[in-house]
Structure 1
Amino acid sequence: MNNNIYKTVYFFAPHGEETREVHDELSDIFSRHGIEEVAASDDADIIASIGGDGEFLQSVRKNNFRDDCVYLGIAVDDANYFYVDFHYRDIKTLEEAIDQDNLDVRNYPLLEVSINDNKPSYCLNEFTLRSSIVKTIKMDVYINDFLFEQFNGDGILVATPTGSTGYNKSLGGSVIDPLIHAMQVTELASVNNNTHRTLGTSFLLNKERPLTLLIDKNLDYYPIMSLDNEAISVRNTEKVEVSISDKLIKTLKLKDNTFWHKAQRNFL
């Protein structure tokens, strides 16, 4: 019998009937270990997504990035993932994890993004801003209140350490250990010539160094922005502020399944 403080679970299963059999089987397994399924995610101590990394990210977003619960992902295919730690065909590993007297958790940092001084939004993976037209976008890049550079190019990507293995890596950014609570800023096709100069490489900012992007309003860029796998539609974007949030997402910490184990499986 499970004696830990986590007593309820909510299953995030966006594919509905496609995963109904898996859902029912998982509900029975959790129940046998003293963790009962609830119908509302607000009542859950554990939120378990069924699917891949995309479903995991959705489960976190649709539950408002709750930091008072534990998230876990359960895959239904044989792919390797970065956020999803379990597979429903490997029930033993899942049962061993949830049957601990005290679940061992790891914390993942979030990005906090404010657009035009509006209420902040959050993302676990990455924030992107790019031009919506076939033309480069210009913006002033501030670190704290210091004007660092005047950017001209396709756009900017800001990634968390866990998000550093995705789009950021494909742009030549570094893979960052999640124990380092920093965000990585990476350029998208910057213009570098005698008129325009940027750093030309990605860089890291810690929690005490927020990033501010002031969009050049001489032209109507209508930038396209995204938080993880969700697009944001803000027509008149003038200022974007990005920082490491005080909020942290909790996931189960497993032996031999660290971030670097996953990096090795996915890339080496």
Structure 2
Amino acid sequence: MKYFVVNRGDEVSQQLNERFHVLAKEYGMVLDEREPDTVLSIGGDGTMLQAFHRYKDQLDRLSFVGLHTGRLGFFADWFPEDLDYLAQVMGSETSPATIVEYPLVEIQIRTQEGTETHVALNEFTLKGVEETMVAQLNLNDETFEMFRGDGICISTPSGSTAYNKSLGGALVHPSIESIQIAEIASINNRVFRTLGSSMILPKHHHCDIFPQANKHLLLTLDHLNVQRNDVVSIRCSVATQKVRFARYRPYPFWNRVQKSFIGLDMK
């Protein structure tokens, strides 16, 4: 099997990275940065996001594995003390991984120059920079509301546990192919009115955001961000692509949620 490792860069992650290379060689794995079969992320969720965007053009052929050395590690199945066993099962021909697929959000940004398409693992956000953001929100080509506030967050099911959760959005199981729209500090009074609640759209629906022309906006795709003032509209929908994770042992989604956010021994 061909593999590559993306690590967080701290001392612990670097040491684990070096140790894994030694073990991988023992178990017959081949280091391949260009076209790996499996990408191991050693660090936190931010490290997994970096790995995802580094290989986003190869999602149909590779899978990801996460080893947690960060603070939360929602994408990680493994911990530092598991490293030797992880290398063993990854290199084993008799213990194949179970591949699970998670939905992504597709973002089509239209400008006067054309349309560019991106995907995000966790979320896409659109925020005003110098003033309140004003944008028309359409659902399935029908006008839904005129938004005024700090911004809008569009999350995937896996991203529903991230920024979306802090905005009061729902947690969505990744088996449900959907995207979620959550408002960021919307203005609601007797003059201006938005829904004031997050919305979950199925994979055959889409939303379009039409911001005021020539306004400076901050666009983020997961951990990446850029300021733009040329956006005409943004279409958000469930991507046709999916991200693949290699599971060598069961770790159900709701167990991850319980451990990450509750963390209590209920026995």
Q: Please, what TM-score do these two structures have when normalized by structure 1?
A: 0.89
Is 1:267 the counterpart of 2:255 in the alignment?
Answer: no
SS in 1 for 2:116: coil
Matched, 1:121 2:118: yes
The two structures, once aligned, show a CA RMSD in angstroms of: 1.9
Q: Distance in 2 between matches of 1:169 and 1:14?
A: 24
TM superposition shift of 1:33 = 2.7
- Whole-Å separation in 2 of the counterparts to 1:159 and 1:54: 16
> 1:212-254, CA deviations, whole angstroms, 9 ceiling, x for partnerless residues?
100122xx42111100011023222221111110111111225
2:158 match: 162
CA distance in 2, matches of 1:101, 1:231: 39
Does the residue aligned with 2:39 lie in a helix, a strand or coil?
Answer: strand
Query: For each residue in 1:92-115, what CA deviation from the matched residue of structure 2 results, as whole angstroms up to 9, or x when unmatched?
Result: 551464235422111111111111
Partner residue of 1:26 out of 20, 24, 27: 20
Residue number among 80, 93, 96 corresponding to 1:88 in the alignment: 80
Distance in 2 separating the partners of 1:136 and 1:186: 16
Correspondence for 2:265 = none
1:199 CA displacement = 1.0
State how far apart, in whole Å, the 1-side matches of 2:96 and 2:250 are: 18
Does 2:59 match 1:70? no
- Tell me which amino acid in the other structure corresponds to 1:119: E
Alignment partner of 2:245 out of 241, 251, 254: 251
Please give the secondary structure, in 1, of the residue aligned with 2:115.
Answer: coil
Q: Distance in 2 between matches of 1:50 and 1:83?
A: 11
Letter of the 1:94 counterpart: L
1:195 aligns with 2:187: no
Distance verdict in 2 for CA 1:73–1:243, change over 3 Å: same
User: Contact between 2:23 and 2:84, CA under 8 Å: does it hold in 1?
Assistant: no
One-letter code of the match for 1:242?
C
Q: Of Structure 1 and Structure 2, which has the larger fraction of its residues in strand? A: 2
Mapped contact 2:65–2:247 kept (Cα < 8 A): no
Question: One-letter code of the match for 1:151?
Answer: F
Contact 1:80–1:265, Cα closer than 8 Å, also in 2: no
1:181 has 2:174 as partner: no
Instruction: Report the equivalent of 1:136.
Output: 132
Report the residue type matching 1:74 in the other structure: L
Gaps of 5+ in 1: 1-6
- AA aligned to 1:179 is S
- Identity among equivalent positions (%) equals 28
- After TM superposition, give the deviation of residue 15 of structure 1 in Å: 1.9
Paired AA for residue 69 in structure 1: L
Please, what TM-score do these two structures have when normalized by structure 2? 0.89
In structure 1, distance between residues paired with 2:171 and 2:10? 34
